[in-house]
Amino acid sequence: MGCVPADTRCGSDEYPRHHVTLTKSFDLMTTEVTVGMFRAYMKDIEEQPPWSTAPNHPVVIVPWGEADAFCHAVGGRLPTEAEWEYAARGGRADTVFPWGNEAPSDKAGAATGAAFEGDAAKTVGTFAPNGYGLYDIAGNVWEWVSDWSSLYPEDGRTNPEGNAAGSTRIVRGGSFGDDPSNLRISNRTPNRPDSVNVNVGFRCARDRG
């Protein structure tokens, strides 16, 4: 977990690279939670941005607590940061992006496709999935994870869940407004849990078995 050797743009919080063992099987939603999904389970939804015109756009303007509540309402939870990174890699342990080391493309259906450096998110599934069948894991909207912000440990960890408390949570994956450096798998960004952002959404995990 953390900065890979092929990546020359890593921030200090992406070091040290360390070994993580996940012993619990889990599923992760294949897409980000959409406006349609959110409306089906939650009473209230903040007005979405002007570009959000279809039920299959990712829901945004959702603080961490509401994202967590939605995931529990559907029988899941937010993924840990370690689970998110494992899933985002899609079986590629040493690559910069989910598809490899090539720069992203905004061409629909592209194997290296992602929504970035633009003014709006795309409907989910616009681009090719990663090796685990997950769509938009890079770009489109940032995704909340369960962890509080913290520095990485020097040694390995098993099923890490981060600090017990803190002032900021982590978002992952980059968004439609970011440059390619923020779409790197190891990139991690702190965000206040009460923040409501037009470029932050989430997807849910579920314990298996």
pLDDT in tens, 64-112: 999 999 999 999 999 999 999 999 999 999 999 999 999 999 998 889 9
3-state secondary structure 95-154: CCECCECCCCECCCCCCCECCCCCCCCCCCCCCCCCCCCCCCCCCCCEEEEEEECCCCCC
Global pTM?
A: 0.97
Does the structure show a pLDDT above 90 at 11? Answer: yes
Full set of structural domains in the chain with CATH: 1-13+24-209 (3.90.1580.10)
- Give the angle subtended at the CA of 144 by the CAs of 39 and 21, to the nearest 5°: 125
* Residue 36 dihedral angles phi and psi, to the nearest 5°: -65, -45
